[in-house]
Every structure is written in C-alpha cells, then in structure tokens.
Amino acid sequence: MCVGEKRKLTVPPNFAKHYDGNKIPAPEDSVLIYEIELLKIVKGTHPMVEAFRETDVNSDKLISQEEMTTFYKNRIDARKSEGKDMAGTE
C-alpha cells in the first residue's frame, strides 16, 4: 500500500471472533467489511516492520490467504495468552 491509499478488508464470519471484552456490534454470523487507509509509514519504530518477511513463510514475495490467516491467528493467540486484546489493553 501507498500512503493515502484505501483498501477494503473483508473478514468472513469464521474469522470474526467475539472474544470476551470485545464489543463487536454485529451478529456473530456477519461478514465484517473494514475500509482502511494508510496514513503514514514510520520506519524502524514498530515491531511489525518485518511482518511481511515473517508472514511470507515460503519466501515467494507473495502473501497467500493461508499465510495471512496463519500470521494473524498466531498474533491473536499470542495477545490472548498475554491477557490482552488486539488493541493492547487488558
């Protein structure tokens, strides 16, 4: 993505999990659609800088749906094991 670019992110119901404390105002069987915009890029200050390399398991310079799903599932599981939600709060 480029700065200022907008994209739609579609989350199917089986990935839209309702964790305790998360208030998602949609029925559990809903498809969630987010519109995101890249506001800026801050180099070297965030631990996710190497996220692409970490996500691209087979090093083909492409992120497959399976690689992305595994990456985010691992992130969510790690946050849950730390007792935090995806926003970093407890």
Domain count of the chain? Answer: 2
Domain boundaries, position 24? 1-41
Residue of higher predicted confidence among 25 and 31: 31
CA separation, residue 54 to residues 36, 42, 75 (Å): 22, 18, 11
pLDDT at 14: 82
pLDDT in tens, 33-87: 899 999 988 776 556 557 788 888 998 988 899 998 998 888 888 888 888 766 5
pLDDT at 13: 83
Record the pTM.
Answer: 0.42
One domain, residues 1 and 28: yes
Residues β-bridged to residue 37: 6
One domain, residues 37 and 49: no
Vertex 78 angle, CA 24 and 15, to 5°: 40
Domain-located, residue 48: yes
Is the pLDDT score of 19 beyond 60? no
